[in-house]
Chains A and B, each alone.
Chain A
Amino acid sequence: MTKQQANWSPYDNNGGTCVAIAGADYCVIAADTRMSTGYSILTRDYSKICKLADKCVMASSGFQADVKALQKVLSARHLIYQHQHNKQMSCPAMGQLLSNTLYYKRFFPYYSFNVLGGLDNEGKGCVYTYDAVGSYERVGYSSQGSGATLITPFLDNQLKSPSPLLLPAKDAVTPLSETEAIDLVKTCFASATERDIYTGDKLEIVVLNADGICREYMELRKD
Chain B
Amino acid sequence: MKLLDSTDSGNNSSIERTQYPYVTGTSVIGIKYKDGILMAADMGASYGSTLRYKSVERVKPVGKHSLIGASGEISDFQEILRSLDELILYDNMWDDGNSLGPKEVHNYLTRMMYNRRNKFDPLWNSLVLGGVKNGQKYLGMVSMIGVHFEDNHVATGFGNHLARPILRDEWHENLTFEDGVKLLEKCMRVLLYRDRSAVNKLQIAKITEEGVTVSQPYSLKTFWNFNAFQNPTAGAEGSW
Q: Residues of A with Cβ closer than 8 Å to B?
A: 1-4, 6-12, 14, 35, 37, 40-43, 45-46, 63-65, 68-69, 108
User: How far in angstroms is the closest Cβ of chain A from B142?
Assistant: 9
- List, in ascending order, chain B residues with CB within 8 A of A40's CB: 160-161, 164
Residues of chain B having any CB pair with chain A under 8 Å: 3-6, 18-20, 110, 114, 117-118, 120, 122, 141, 143-151, 160-161, 164
Q: How far is the CB of B150 from chain A (nearest CB, A)?
A: 8
Give, as a whole number of angstroms, the nearest-CB distance from A61 to chain B: 13
A-B CB proximity, top 4 nearest = A65-B146, A43-B151, A3-B6, A43-B149
Given known A10-B117, A65-B114, A69-B114, contact A37–B147 (CB-CB < 8 A): yes
Contact in complex: A42, B145 (CB < 8 Å): no
Cα distance A10–B122 in the bound complex, in angstroms: 9
The chain B residue with its CB closest to the CB of A46 is B149
A108, B115: Cα distance in complex, Å: 13
Q: Return B129 CB to nearest CB of chain A, in Å.
A: 14
Which A residue's beta carbon lies closest to that of B5?
Answer: A4
Query: Which chain A residues lie closer than 8 Å to B151 at the CB level?
Result: 42-43, 45
Chain B residues lying within 8 Å of A37, measured Cβ to Cβ, are 143, 147
Known: A1-B6, A3-B6, A42-B160. A11 touches B145 (CB 8 A): yes
Instruction: Report the minimum CB–CB distance from B97 to chain A (whole Å).
Output: 27
**A63 CA to B146 CA, complexed, in Å:** 10
Closest A residue, CB atoms, query B117: A10
Q: How far is the CA of A10 from the CA of B146 in the complex (A)?
A: 9
Q: Beyond A6-B19, A42-B160, is A65–B148 a contact (Cβ under 8 Å)?
A: yes
Residues of chain A within 8 A of B141, CB atoms compared: 42
Measured in the bound complex, the distance between the Cα atoms of B147 and A8 in whole Å is: 14
Question: Quick check: B19 and A4 within 8 Å, CB to CB?
Answer: yes
Q: Which of A7, A9, A68 meets B20, CB within 8 Å?
A: A7
Contact check, A10 vs B145: say whether CB atoms are below 8 A apart: yes
In the complex, which residues of chain B have a beta carbon less than 8 angstroms from the beta carbon of A3? 6
Number of A-B contacts (CB under 8 A): 62
Pairwise interchain contact A4-B3, C-beta atoms closer than 8 A: yes
**Can you list 14 A-B contacts (CB < 8 A)?**
A2-B6, A4-B19, A7-B20, A8-B144, A10-B117, A10-B122, A11-B145, A35-B149, A37-B143, A41-B164, A42-B147, A43-B151, A63-B147, A65-B145
Closest to A3 in B: B6
Give, as a whole number of angstroms, the nearest-CB distance from B16 to chain A: 12
CA distance A160 to B88 in the complex (A): 58
In the complex the two chains form, is B19's CB within 8 Å of A7's CB?
yes
B107–chain A nearest beta-carbon distance, Å? 10
Extra 9 A-B pairs, beta carbons < 8 Å, given A10-B117, A10-B120, A42-B141: A1-B6, A4-B19, A7-B19, A11-B145, A37-B143, A37-B147, A40-B161, A43-B149, A46-B149
In the bound assembly, the distance between CA atoms of A4 and B6 in angstroms comes to: 8
Q: Which residues of B contact A7 (CB under 8 A)?
A: 19-20
Determine the distance from Cα of A1 to Cα of B160 in the docked complex, in whole angstroms: 38
Across the interface, name the chain A residue whose C-beta is closest to B146: A65
Residues on the B chain within 8 Å of A65, using CB? 110, 114, 117, 145-148
Closest chain A residue to B120, Cβ basis: A10
For B18, the chain A residues whose CB sits under 8 A away are 8
Bound-state CA distance A11–B20 (Å) is: 17
The smallest C-beta distance from B122 to any residue of chain A, in angstroms, reads: 7
| Closest chain A CB from B81 CB (angstroms) | 22
Chain B proximity of A118: nearest CB distance (Å): 26
Query: Once the chains are docked, how many angstroms separate the CA of A3 from the CA of B150?
Result: 39
Asked if A68 contacts B145 (CB within 8 A), the reply is no
**Would you call A68 and B148 a contact (CB within 8 A)?**
yes
